[in-house]
Amino acid sequence: MSKSLNRREFLKRGSALLAAGSLPLSLVEVAFGKNSPENFTFAYVSDSHITHVKGKEFVRNWDRGLIRAIAETNLLDPRPDFVFYGGDIAQLGKREEIDHGLEILSALRGDVHYVMGEHDYYLDLGDYWRKQLGPDHYSFDHKGVHFVVLNSILTFDEWTHDKWPSAEERMHQMARLDNPQGSPFMVGQAQRDWLKKDLDKISKDTPLVVLSHSPLQKIYKGWNFWTDDAEQVQALLKPFNKVSVLYGHVHQIQYNQIGNISFNSAMATAWPWPYPASYKQAASYMPKLTVDMNRANPFFERDATGWQFINTHTGNVDVHYLLPDNTNRVVAYDRKAGHPVDSEYQAAEDRIPPQTHY
Amino acid sequence: MKLPGQWLTAAAFLAVGASVSAAPLGLPPVPVPADNPQTPAKIKLGDRLFHDKRFSADGKVSCSTCHDKTKAFTDHLPVSKGFNGLTGTRNAPTVINSAYMKTLFWDGREPDLEGQSKQPPVNPVEGGLHDHKPILKTIRGDREYTAAFSEVFDVAPEAISMDHVAKAIASFERTVVSGDSPFDRYQYGGDKTALSEAQVRGLELYRNKARCVSCHTIEATQAIFTDNRFHNIGIGFKKIRGQEEQTAEEFVRSKRAGADVDKTVLTNANVSELGRFAVTENPTQVGAFKTSTLRNIAVTQPYMHDGSLKTLADVVDFYNNGGRLKETDPLSAFQSGGIRPLHLTDQEKQDLVAFLESLTSPQFKPQAGK
């Protein structure tokens, strides 16, 4: 904050933070849910990557990230109707990691709906996760909105079942970035059939909110910011008037609009990823609307991590990013523009250019 | 009220209407707002106002009660004592070098010195006045004051306002700057003998292993020893542990219903621990307090926003254990990601304390025999 900041700006900035941090009921005005006069918010926490070291020891940094996100989520006023956990509770799919993560997550106030991440899956193909948390794809209705959760991190059967000498090796391979031995994520035929049947029952003017771990769009294959059958899934969502896809996995803020579908990512509670463009000096197909994330201060382990709460009052989603040691941001669907708009970095001249590596 | 020589030197550099002034070794020029230029008459007026005890309910509390120049502009109490001996919730920060602060109070609830000085006289546990009227009445009935305000602000007695009072006090406070410590002479003055060997080792730790410099900044040509940001380092949370949600919710609701932040944080011990959150309502700032300067830290004990740490050795232990006095103490869920165990040896801890003792300016060095 510069010394020239006058009192009015100072107070105004305070209230802008207020709007991003907590949401007075008076702001929730426009009813949109079909057959429902109510508006609602939900919280969205993702990518904690709880990592077992040995015995009862876990990586402190990732524990602290999840603990902090939960403590902050519990402060939301008004209370969110429920919480989504966006996947990757664990780092290497171990029972110790899932148990420890769920123990920390048990401090959350309210119901939690879980999404499967690849780090939860590729050790035992999701057995322990499903035993603890139930099915990895499901749908439910809430106040006029139809929610769908998909397991988008599956891949070819051959890669999963025939390629690796051990489950641990399979997990390690899938955990790597830029891995020539890796394999692209996909929702798969069986789940797409299930999704089609599920959506057949829903009228086209019902707002849809779809959660997946990987983006249901193609951004960068080398890091699996990618779902191989994204177009086929998008085709099933196309007939609906209002569709929002929320995904984790990327550990950074992304947003995009493809036809009727708005895309918004979640921050990780563990660590930030740089944008792939800054890593690979080649076309990365980042969504055009996305503003590059500024660089994290490595001293503050929580910088460039965070969590989000989501306001559904416009009929599409407004994603409020809560970013410790940084500036909170809101990416809200703009009805006039027809796509999500970033509240913090709209003007090109205000943007921080991405890093370039040589 | 006579200014000690060191400040007079600093004050003498102040040119009328200038936006900056020359500063002691190790400090940048003092930033001065365009609408409140420094003048010798205004500084003198501010000095008198700063020490005037009549601006309180019992006539015994002035700014200098808690910001006493003989105690390096603090009160050496854990939390400050106001009128009728009432205590608040927070430790009085030193006025020295507050001119460089980008926000004032531990939670930064005021943007500048002008805004800051208006609050304590009307806080129920500080000055204890209901409003500012008695202050203006006293000033208007004091011929020395009316003459001074007329000279400084060109106002008739009945036109003197709290804005004038606050501007004069802020101008005085902008002269309370001090650098020229052994560290400054070593770092910026080229005197490599100014620090002892232990202090030099402590500086190295300060910059690296002990992770101090990331918040208590030292720059290439100057050091104000604060990043002017807010961090939850783990102090005080035990007081509201398990009650954070309830405390935050009740506070936010009462604030929306019109409750005054200044009064609430100083009179409600639990709300006080919400720190910066009480100002911004940003959930990422629960328990976050402003990074204090470390200049003259060896003479401004006790430490932290609640004055809960008595010695610099305690402070170093606290950080060494990752934001707690004992390794077995619980951690706040809201703690900053910059705080983590440091694994310092006993020798390293002593060196660090020795370095912190090198940050005292000559005019605040305890006199022999004291």
The span from the CA of A157 to the CA of A239, in Å, is: 30
What is the structure's pLDDT at A355?
53
CA-based nearest residue to A188, from A219, A153, A220: A153
Q: Among A220-224, A255-259, B9-13, which range has the highest average pLDDT?
A: A255-259
Does B13 score more than 50 pLDDT? no
Token output for B188: 């910026």
Average pLDDT, chain B: 92
Give the C-alpha distances (Å, rounded to integers) separating B244 from A21, A321, B99, B182, B291. 16, 21, 33, 42, 22
B189 and B140 in a single domain? The answer is no
Q: Higher pLDDT residue, B184 or B9?
A: B184
> pLDDT tens digits, residue range B344-357?
999 999 999 999 99
Cis before B302 (ω within 30):
yes
pTM for the model: 0.89
Q: Do B115 and A7 touch (CB under 8 A)?
A: yes
The span from the CA of A58 to the CA of A51, in Å, is: 5
**Long-range Cβ contact pairs of B115-121 (< 8 A, separation 24 or more):** B115/A7, B115/B166, B116/B170, B117/B63, B117/B165, B117/B166, B117/B169, B117/B170, B117/B173, B118/B162, B118/B165, B118/B166, B119/B262, B120/B63, B120/B66, B120/B82, B121/B55, B121/B56
B184 and B141 in a single domain? The answer is no
B162 and B258 in a single domain? The answer is no
Does A28 score more than 50 pLDDT? no
What is the structure's pLDDT at B96?
98
Residue owning tokens 């797409």: A192
Does B12 score more than 60 pLDDT? no
What is the structure's pLDDT at A315?
72
Q: How confident is the model at residue A38 (pLDDT cuts 50, 70, 90)?
A: low
What is the structure's pLDDT at A273?
85
B146 and B232 in a single domain? The answer is no
Q: Which residues contact A300 (CB under 8 A, 6 or more apart)?
A: A324, A325, B214, B336, B337, B338
Q: Side-chain half-sphere of B332: how many Cα atoms within 13 Å?
A: 30
Interface probe for A, chosen from B261, B282, B286, B336 (most Cβ of A below 10 Å), is B282
Does B141 score more than 90 pLDDT? yes
Point out the least confidently predicted range of A66-75, A320-329, B311-320.
A320-329
Burial class (CB in 10 A: 0-12, 13-18, 19+), A247: buried
Q: How confident is the model at residue A40 (pLDDT cuts 50, 70, 90)?
A: confident
What is the structure's pLDDT at A32?
44
> pLDDT tens digits, residue range A254-283?
999 999 999 999 999 999 887 655 444 555
Point out the least confidently predicted range of A45-54, A197-206, A317-326.
A317-326
- Burial letters A60-70, b for 16+ CB under 10 A, else e: ebbbbbbbbbb
> pLDDT tens digits, residue range B188-214?
999 999 999 999 999 999 999 999 999
- Contact between A50 and A104 under an 8 Å Cβ cutoff? The reply is yes
B295 and B158 in a single domain? The answer is no
> pLDDT tens digits, residue range A236-250?
999 999 999 999 999
Query: For residues A147, A149, A152 and A153, what is the CA-based torsion angle, rounded to 10 degrees?
Result: 150
Q: How confident is the model at residue B366 (pLDDT cuts 50, 70, 90)?
A: confident
Q: Do B337 and A76 touch (CB under 8 A)?
A: no
What is the structure's pLDDT at B9?
41
For chain B, report the end-to-end CA distance as a whole number of angstroms.
23
B157 and B185 in a single domain? The answer is no
What is the structure's pLDDT at B21?
53
> pLDDT tens digits, residue range A280-312?
455 555 555 656 556 678 889 999 899 999 988
- Burial letters A266-279, b for 16+ CB under 10 A, else e: bbbbbbbbbbbbbb
For chain A, report the end-to-end CA distance as a whole number of angstroms.
33
What is the structure's pLDDT at B23?
85
What is the crossing angle of helices B133-140 and B162-173, to 10°?
A: 80
Does B311 score more than 80 pLDDT? yes
- Contact between A247 and A86 under an 8 Å Cβ cutoff? The reply is yes
B224 and B280 in a single domain? The answer is yes
Burial class (CB in 10 A: 0-12, 13-18, 19+), B331: middle
Domain extent at residue B342: 180-370
CA angle B229, B30, B109 (to 5 degrees): 35
**What is the average pLDDT across A122-133?**
98
B155 and B27 in a single domain? The answer is yes
What is the structure's pLDDT at B165?
98
Does B369 score more than 60 pLDDT? no
B58 and B74 in a single domain? The answer is yes
What is the crossing angle of helices B197-207 and B346-356, to 10°?
A: 100
Q: Do B337 and A300 touch (CB under 8 A)?
A: yes
Q: How confident is the model at residue A356 (pLDDT cuts 50, 70, 90)?
A: low
% chain B with pLDDT above 90: 89
Residues of A in contact with B112 (CB under 8 A): 3, 7
The span from the CA of B328 to the CA of B307, in Å, is: 22
Phi then psi for A297, rounded to 5 degrees?
-80, 115
Q: How confident is the model at residue A35 (pLDDT cuts 50, 70, 90)?
A: very low
Q: Do A2 and B103 touch (CB under 8 A)?
A: no
What is the structure's pLDDT at B367?
73
Q: Higher pLDDT residue, A92 or A273?
A: A92
Residues of A in contact with B214 (CB under 8 A): 297, 299-300
Nearest CA in chain A to B247: A75
Does A39 score more than 80 pLDDT? no
Query: Chain B contact for A280, CB < 8 A?
Result: no
Q: How confident is the model at residue A30 (pLDDT cuts 50, 70, 90)?
A: very low
Residues of B in contact with A302 (CB under 8 A): 336-337
Residue owning tokens 């909170």: A328
Token output for B204: 């190295």
CA-based nearest residue to A246, from A119, A127, A154, A331: A331
Point out the least confidently predicted range of A32-36, A254-258, B40-44.
A32-36
Token output for B67: 């910001």
Token output for B44: 């003198």
Interface probe for B, chosen from A66, A325, A327, A328 (most Cβ of B below 10 Å), is A325
Nearest CA in chain A to B116: A7
Picking from B123, B144, B173, the residue at the C-terminal end of a domain is B173
Domains of chain A: 41-346 (3.60.21.10)
Phi then psi for B327, rounded to 5 degrees?
-60, -25
DSSP B37: -
In the sheet that A243-247 helps form, which strands lie side by side, from edge to edge? A138-142, A145-149, A208-212, A243-247, A261-265, A255-258
The total domain count for chain B is: 2
CA-based nearest residue to A13, from B122, B275, B31, B276: B276
- Contact between A355 and A292 under an 8 Å Cβ cutoff? The reply is no
Query: Chain B contact for A132, CB < 8 A?
Result: no
> pLDDT tens digits, residue range B59-115?
999 999 999 999 999 999 999 999 999 999 999 999 999 999 999 999 999 999 999
> pLDDT tens digits, residue range A174-190?
999 889 999 999 999 99
Q: Do A72 and B334 touch (CB under 8 A)?
A: yes
What is the structure's pLDDT at A288?
59
Picking from B154, B173, B192, the residue at the C-terminal end of a domain is B173
Picking from B173, B188, B203, the residue at the C-terminal end of a domain is B173
Q: Which residues contact B266 (CB under 8 A, 6 or more apart)?
A: B88, B89, B90, B123, B124, B125, B126, B272
The span from the CA of B229 to the CA of B102, in Å, is: 9
Rg (CA), chain A: 20
Residues of B in contact with A70 (CB under 8 A): 333
The span from the CA of B250 to the CA of B122, in Å, is: 24
B124 and B201 in a single domain? The answer is no
The span from the CA of A342 to the CA of A293, in Å, is: 12
Q: How confident is the model at residue A214 (pLDDT cuts 50, 70, 90)?
A: very high
In the sheet that A318-322 helps form, which strands lie side by side, from edge to edge? A112-114, A83-85, A41-45, A307-311, A318-322, A329-334, A339-342
**What is the average pLDDT across A3-7?**
45
In this complex, the residue of B31, B333, B338 whose CB is nearest that of residue A300 is B338
B166 and B212 in a single domain? The answer is no
B184 and B327 in a single domain? The answer is yes
Does A56 score more than 90 pLDDT? yes
CATH code of residue B158:
1.10.760.10
